[in-house]
Structures are given as C-alpha cells and as structure tokens.
Amino acid sequence: MGLVVRTAMRGMRLLGLLLVLGWVVFPVYLMVKISLSPPEAVLRPVPEIGLHRITLEHWRRLLSSGGLYPPLIKSLTVAGLTVLLSLLIGVPSAYAIARLPRNWSYRLSVAMFLSRMLPEVVIALPIAVIFIRLNLLDTVMGLVFAHTVKALPVACWLLIGVFRSIPRDLEEQASVDGATTWQILFRIVIPLSLGGIAVAGVFAYLLSWDEFTYAIYLCLAKPTLPLKVYYYVNRGDWFLTSAYAVVTTLPVIVLTYVLHLFLREDVFAGSLKE
C-alpha cells in the first residue's frame, strides 16, 4: 500500500514538474520554431506545433541583412562594461557596508534601493537629459552609466550578503599578521567571495542586456539589441522578430545556467541576514 502511495506521489510530482517545465519552455520553443518555419506552416488557421517543415530562410535574412551585428556588439559591450563598472564600484562599497554596524548597514542597504523604488519612466527622462547634456547620446558609455544606475544597487545588495558570510575572525587574523584593509579585501575577502561576485556580475549583465527604457532615450543612430527586437515587433514580420528574439534570449539562457552553477544559499541573504 505504502509503495503504491509513494509511486503515485512520485508520479504526481513528475507530472507537476513536466507541467511547469512545459509552461516555461513552450513559449521559448514556439519562438525558435517560428524562426525556423516557412510562413505556410504558421500562417494557417491551426498552426503546426511540431517542427515538420524547417527553413533557414529567416536566419539567412537575419544574418545577411547587416542589421544584427552592430546592435549585438553594442549590447555585448554595454553589458560587459556595466558588469565591470558595477563590480568596480560595488565590491568595495558592499564590503564597506557589510562591515558597518548592523543598523547602519541595514539603512544604507535600503537607501541604495531608493532609485529602484521610483518607476523607471519617471527617473529616466531627467537622467537622460543630464546624459545628453554631457554629450553621451548614442554612446556606449552613456548607456553603461545609465545601466549601472540600475545594476549597482542589486549588485551591492547581493555582495553585502556574500561579504557578511565571511567570518570576521579571518580578517582580524590577517590584520594581526600586518595586512592592510585593501590587502584583506583583495587577498582574503575577494578570493573567498568569487562565487558571489560572479552572481552579482551575472545579475548586472542580465539587467543591462535586456534594458529598454534608458536605451530608448539614449540611442539614436546605434540601437541596442532589445531596441532592434522592439523595431521588428513594430515593423517586421513574425519570423524575423522570432529570430531576433532567439538571438536576444540565448545569452540569457546561457548566463542563467552559469548563475545556477555559482548560486549559494547565502548569496540571496542580502544585508538582512541575521
């Protein structure tokens, strides 16, 4: 009897898992499928669900149009530099905050999120005005700075939790041995926190990669990849839109997998961990 119940439970769990998996994966599958389907397989009253007929025509159009590479390179560059800048500022800041007395640390952690509490459309215009005044319209650095506004609080919040999880005894011991604060940070804290730093970096990357609002304001001649997808949603056909959406989604899937490898329980404990 017990065996029957256990088997039934296991079956139910498996079914639930498959349902959730289907719910998540099916839209991505459809996107890939449409990008590989001839119009007659999709533009019909009941579209084909399986990949019975495959064409690379839409991908050929995408790759030969010359419209893919500049936005792709721009998005990659902006996201890469956003990670760099977020970590350059975020690591020392988060370390300093993590070592403050708990009530101050808590207040600062909350304060960091103030800019994220306002709707993005509200703060995007004034920020864009400042950046345009600084001649940052259509530049990579303009977007990097704007995206860092978004990514830095999240990176700091994650890193505060990571640094808190490192026992202070280690640092005190190093200090007794004559290490300076910077030496402690670079030789002890950072090597022990590489996993958490990687997670913060990946989060910063993902926030920058699909960022849209600032890009709308700060790009004119040179769009990012999300703007290109937006363009095809507005102006293109389903097939090219799907192909662009696949290109935009691929790095997110890869990075999410990487993120999963680095994830540890304490990474999300943030500054609120007791």
Partner 1 sequence: MGRVLRLNLLGVSAVLTAFLFLFGCSSRGPQRPVLRVVMGLTEEEWSVMKTEVFPKFEQRYACRISAYQVEANDWIRKLEAMERAGRVEVDVFAQDNMRLYPLVAKDLVEDVSQYADLIPDEVPKALRGVGIFNGKLYFFPYRPNVQITFYNAEKFAEYGLNPPRDWDELLSVAKVFKEREGIGKVGLKLWGGSPTATQIYEMVISAGGEPFSFTDEGWRRTFRFLKELYPYLSPDSKRAKWDTTNIYLANGSFYLAQNWPFAIGVLVKTYHKDYIKAYAGWRGPVRPAHVVGGEVLGLPKGGEHRELALKFVKFMLSREVQTILLRRLGWPPVRTDVYAEVEDWQRPYFEAVKTALKDGVFRPNVLFWGEFEKLVNSAVTRILVKGEDVDGVLQECGEKMQEVMREAQTNGDG
Residues within the interface to partner 1 (CB under 8 A): 39, 42-45, 47, 65, 67, 77, 81, 84-85, 88, 125, 128-130, 132-133, 135, 137-141, 180, 182-183, 186, 216-217, 220-221, 223, 230-231, 234-238
DSSP state of 185: I
Residue with Cβ nearer partner 1 (179 or 263): 179
Shortest spacing between CB 43 and partner 1, in angstroms: 4
Least Å distance, CB 169 to partner 1, is 22
Q: Which is nearer to partner 1, 103 or 135 (CB)?
A: 135
Residue 173 corresponds to which tokens in the numbers above? 């011991």
Q: Smaller CB distance to partner 1: residue 21 or 125?
A: 125
- What would the DSSP string read from start to end of 60-113? HHHHHSS-SHHHHHHHHHHHHHHHHHHHHHHHHHHHHHHTS-HHHHHHHHHHHT
CB 112 to partner 1: min, Å: 22
d(CA 11, CA 5): 10
CB of 11 to partner 1, least distance (A): 36
Cα 206 → chain centroid: 1
Are 74 and 222 in contact, with CB atoms under 8 Å apart? yes
The residue (of 123 and 272) whose beta carbon lies closer to partner 1 is 123
Please tell me the number of Cα atoms within 13 Å of 127 on its side-chain side. Answer: 23
Minimum distance, C-beta of residue 233 to partner 1, in the bound complex (Å): 8
Query: What tokens appear for 140 in the block?
Result: 């990579």
Q: 3-class DSSP state for residue 46? A: coil
Taking the least distance from each CB to partner 1, the nearer of 174 and 272 is 174
